[in-house]
Chains A and B, each alone.
Chain A
Amino acid sequence: MNPDYDKRLEAEISRELKALPELAAPATLVNRVMTTIEQRARVPWYRRSWQMWPVALQAAALVVLLALFGGLCLAGWELSQARATTLALYKAGEWFSGLGVIINTFGVLANAVLLAVEKLGTGFIVACLVAVALGYALCVGLGTVYFRLALAKQRELNL
Chain B
Amino acid sequence: MTNAQQFETFMRNYQNMVFSTAMRLLANQTEAEDVAQEVFLKAFERFDQLHDSPTVGGWLKTVATNLSLNHLSRYRSRWSFFSELSVSNLEETGENELEFPASESVEEELDKLERRALVGQALQKLPAAQRVPLVLYHLEGLAYEEIAEKLGVSLGKVKTDIFRGREALRKNLKLKLEAA
- Measured CB to CB, the residues of A under 8 A from B are 1, 4-6, 8-10, 12-14, 16-26, 28-30, 32-34, 36-38, 52, 144, 147-148, 151-152, 155
Contacts and interface: CB of A to CB of B under 8 A. Distances in A.
A152 B17 CA distance: 35
Contacts of B16: 22-25
Contacts of A152: 89
A14 B138 contact: yes
A141 B142 CA distance: 37
Interface stretch (B48-56, B67-75, B170-178): B170-178
A22 B20 CA distance: 6
Contacts of B4: 34, 37-38
B123 interface: yes
Q: Looking at chain B's contact residues, is the secondary structure mostly helix, strand, loop, or mixed?
A: helix
A64 B89 CA distance: 61
Contacts of A13: 134, 138, 166, 169-170
B56 to A, nearest CB: 16
A20 to B, nearest CB: 6
A145 B21 CA distance: 34
A155 B173 CA distance: 20
B87 to A, nearest CB: 12
A29 B94 CA distance: 36
Contacts, number: 103
A9 B116 CA distance: 18
Nearest to A21: B116
- Give the interface centre of B23, B44, B95 by most chain A CB atoms within 10 Å: B44
Interface of B: 4, 7-8, 11-12, 15-20, 23-24, 29, 33, 36-37, 40-41, 44-45, 82, 85-86, 89, 93, 95, 116, 119-120, 123, 134-135, 138-139, 163, 166-167, 169-170, 173, 175, 177-178, 180
A18 B139 contact: yes
A16 B44 CA distance: 34
A29 to B, nearest CB: 6
Nearest to A41: B4
A158 B18 CA distance: 30
Given A12-B170, A29-B37, A32-B37, A20 B119 contact: yes
Contact of B85 (A24, A26, A148): A148
A89 B20 CA distance: 65
A38 B4 CA distance: 9
Contact of A26 (B17, B29, B138): B29
A28 B123 CA distance: 25
Nearest to A10: B166
A36 B136 CA distance: 30
Contact of B180 (A8, A12, A24): A8
Given A4-B180, A8-B180, A18-B139, A34 B119 contact: no
B91 to A, nearest CB: 13
B20 to A, nearest CB: 4
